[in-house]
Structure 1
Amino acid sequence: MKTRHIVISLITASIVSTGALAKVDKNNLSLSTYPVPLSSAVSDEFYAFSCRVPAPDIAALQENIPSNSEEWRAFIESRDKPAIKRAETLAQQLGVTIEKDSIAGVDVYWVTPKTVAPELKDKLLVAIQGGAYLLNSGLASTIEASMIATHMQIPAIAIDYSKAPDFPAPAARNDIIKVWNELLKTRSAENMVMGGSSAGGSLSLVVTQALNKQKIPTPAALYSGTPGVDMTMTGDSRFINEGLDHILGSWRGLSSAMVDAYVGELHHSDPVVSPINGSFDNFPPVYLITGTRDLLLSDTVRLHRALKRAGSVAELNVYEGQSHADYAIAYGTPESQEHYQALSEFFYGYLVK
């Protein structure tokens, strides 16, 4: 051990003695301007998908930001309309049955796949949709629920929680907890799993942290797909993947404005909105997924370490060349199929024993 420390000290001394780094401000380094081509280390299908998706317009993302309630409503409607259409088309393609309901005053959708595995007929996926805490209301809240339910052959319930800017945090979290408590009246927590992508992944974490505080049974396992666990501009990928992530594009500008609407009067570092600052003690097993071009790659990596340090089971999956939640957007590609199959197997292992 002593020899190792001597070697490390010698290497450090050698680097410093060259003066190569001595005059450089390491908090103000710039990224190389060398072009970054699309990764060819992916399936042909995913490469073709990546070619079709437009590159992000960083300037537009920092300029075209809604400034009042009317503009936010117009923005949300422009995004939700095509998302609802996609949900309808997807349900038809997969043969999924969707029924709207209300639980504890919260709109929900029961999602039943064409085939339900006999051993999962009494189990339930509690799906929390993404959408930057503002988007994917109504039927759009069922999109990923339909995907997972079909792959896993499990009944699901998609919670259409309250959205910002009309209902900032912790409204979304509280809605999910209300539904969860009602579900516990007729079901066992060990027979339910919970999760989703992006905001859905983050909300699943803050909900579980709140349940633990209130000593309420938590889901048997969680799915946190590329979650935003820190509402501040923190983490390498927020900087490195700006302009590479063709879904989010940049944390600065529109993404930050949507986050501000969600955070409301809370501090951005409050664990209620930034679960990385909360406790991960007594957490159920968590399945994580991100990509090398994901703006929230660092969030997912930091979450994985926090869970491991707390002694929780955490499975981290990182896909080459993928931007934020590409696995859901590029549904049907080999990478997407691989992810949803792996997630299904992960959940299955904690529901069927």
Structure 2
Amino acid sequence: MASPESQDLVNLYKGWVAAMQAQPDMPLEGIRKLFSHWGDVTVDPPGVDYIEVDVAGIPAMWAIPKNSAQDRALLCSHGGGYVVGSMYTHRKLFGHIAKAVGCRALIVDYRRAPENPHPGPVNDMATAYRWLLEHEKLAPSHIALTGDSAGGALALTTIARIRELGLPLPAATMPMSPWAGWDTSGKTYDTNKDKDALVSRDTTEGLGSLFIGNGDPKDPLANPLYIDYKGFPPIYLQVGDAETLLDDSLRIAERAKAAGVDVRIDVFPEMQHVFQFLAGNAPEADEAIQRMASWVRPKIGL
């Protein structure tokens, strides 16, 4: 049974949906302001410092836990349909993950759609990965990717992009509730429509169209359902079973396993979209982050 604390995320999401329904013509800046409160449900992790940095012209933020390994890193991509969210909304979430793993985390404030539609975000993330290799002198075997929702998709599509660029691949990736972009073919859009407090077909239609612009919704760099996963590093997916996006994660896992990739997927009962935001607040989020840390630490040599 879901913890009482997990209701905080449900309440947050229902408040956003009600506000947007009450003002159907809410401007984009108004929607971004709503979503700027995503991190309100996350407890600030003690012992983590945050330093903003320029990554080859892209704003980013280091989350640096006390006494953490400096020669390992997580490359983090925030969610928000590529349209909302930022390194600030996700600072505490990725701070918790970095602290649990015991290394630094680089949170990339990739340029968002519609100002910067596909393939802008995935290219920005690939630039940040190259920066870790060249500027920070990190070994690819000491880097893991993680992200949530659209950022969870980027934790997969970025690997496809850096493979295209001929760069060495990272050690592992940990997508949380990855979003298949402008694609509503998942059956859980129907079966979970009354359980998911935030994401609906309307949500995906609205954000997806802004993200894709004039591009192809089935581009593997925009939709992780279409990636050729052969040769990918190990993947650990987490998703809530109340999510409309549950089927996206299940199908990604199936596709990657069929390509011979080492895949783990954990489905958390009664959990909402990116329930890990409840870190420090709800036990389900803390357990999920500990599972991520236990899985990835040996992958990056910790």
Q: Which amino acid aligns with 2:273?
A: H
Q: Could you tell me which residue of structure 2 aligns to residue 153 of structure 1?
A: 102
Q: Is the 8 A contact 1:101 1:107 kept in 2?
A: yes
Which structure would you say has the larger Rg?
Answer: 1
In the aligned structure 2, how far is the partner of 1:110 from the partner of 1:331?
Answer: 20
Picking from 78, 94, 114, the partner of 2:66 is 114
- 2:155 maps to what in 1? 204
Structure with more relative contact order (C-alpha pairs < 8 Å, separation 6 or more): 2
| Alignment counterpart, residue 347 of structure 1, candidates 275, 286, 296 | 296
Offset of residue 42 of structure 1? 3.4
Q: Are residues 44 and 64 of structure 1, via their aligned partners in 2, closer, same or farther at CA, if it must alter by over 3 Å?
A: closer
Q: Which runs of 5+ in 1 are unaligned?
A: 1-40
2:80 matched residue in structure 1: 131
TM-score (norm 1): 0.78
Q: Structure 2 CA distance, aligned partners of 1:44 and 1:137?
A: 27
Change (3 A) 1:182 1:330: closer
Which position in structure 1 is the counterpart of 2:131?
182
| Amino acid aligned to 1:97 | D
Per-residue deviation, 1:207:
0.8
Partner of 2:264: 315
Name the CA distance, whole Å, in 2 between partners of 1:58 and 1:78: 10
- TM (norm. structure 2) is 0.90
* CA-CA distance at 1:233 after TM superposition: 1.6
Q: Which amino acid aligns with 2:242?
A: R
TM-aligned CA distance change 1:212 to 1:343, over 3 Å: same
Which of 45, 69, 73 is the aligned partner of 2:29?
73
1:43-86 CA-to-partner distances (Å, cap 9, x unmatched) read: 4544x54775675897976785458xxx1123213322x347x4
CA gap 1:101/1:57 in 2 versus in 1, 3 angstroms: closer
| Corresponding letter in the other structure for 1:342 | R
* Aligned residue pairs, count: 300
Identity %: 24
Question: How far off its partner does 1:213 sit?
Answer: 2.2
Residues 239, 330 of structure 1: alpha-carbon distance in 2 compared, 3 angstrom cutoff = farther
The partner residue of 2:201 within 246, 251, 259 is 251
The residue number in structure 2 matching 1:304 is 253
Q: Tell me how far 1:135 sits from its aligned partner.
A: 1.5
Residues 59 and 210 (structure 1 numbering): CA distance in 2 closer, same or farther, change over 3 Å? same
Q: Does 1:42 align with 2:18?
A: no
Letter in 2 for 1:194: L
Give the counterpart of 1:101 among 22, 42, 53.
Answer: 53
Rounded Cα–Cα distance in structure 1 between residues aligned with 2:281 and 2:18 = 31
Alpha-carbon separation, structure 1, partners of 2:255 and 2:239: 16
- For residues 83-133 of structure 1, what are the alpha-carbon distances to aligned partners after superposition, in whole Å with 9 as ceiling and x for unaligned? 47x49x844x523211111011111111111342xxx33111111111111
Correspondence for 1:229 among 180, 200, 209: 180
Q: 1:330–1:191: structure 2 CA closer, same or farther, 3 Å change rule?
A: closer
Q: Report if the CA contact (8 A) 1:129-1:142 is conserved.
A: no
Residue ranges of structure 2 left out of the alignment (5+ in a row): none
CA distance in 2, matches of 1:245, 1:255: 13
Report the CA distance shift for 1:44/1:210 in structure 2 as closer, same or farther (over 3 A): same
Instruction: Give distance in 1, aligned partners of 2:9 and 2:59.
Output: 35
State how far apart, in whole Å, the 2-side matches of 1:52 and 1:83 are.
12
- 1:132-159 per-residue CA deviation (whole Å, 9 max, x = no partner) reads 1112225224232111012222111111
Secondary structure of the structure 1 residue equivalent to 2:106: strand
Find the residue that maps to 1:98 and give its secondary structure: strand
Higher strand share: 2
Write the distance in 2 (CA, Å) between the matches of 1:274 and 1:287: 18
Using the alignment, how far apart are the partners of 2:217 and 2:21 within structure 1?
Answer: 20
- Whichever residue aligns with residue 348 of structure 1, its letter is R
CA distance in 2, matches of 1:50, 1:262: 25
Give me the CA root mean square deviation: 2.5
Change (3 A) 1:57 1:49: closer
Mapped partners of 2:110, 2:70: distance in 1: 25
Which residue is 1:193 aligned to?
A: 144
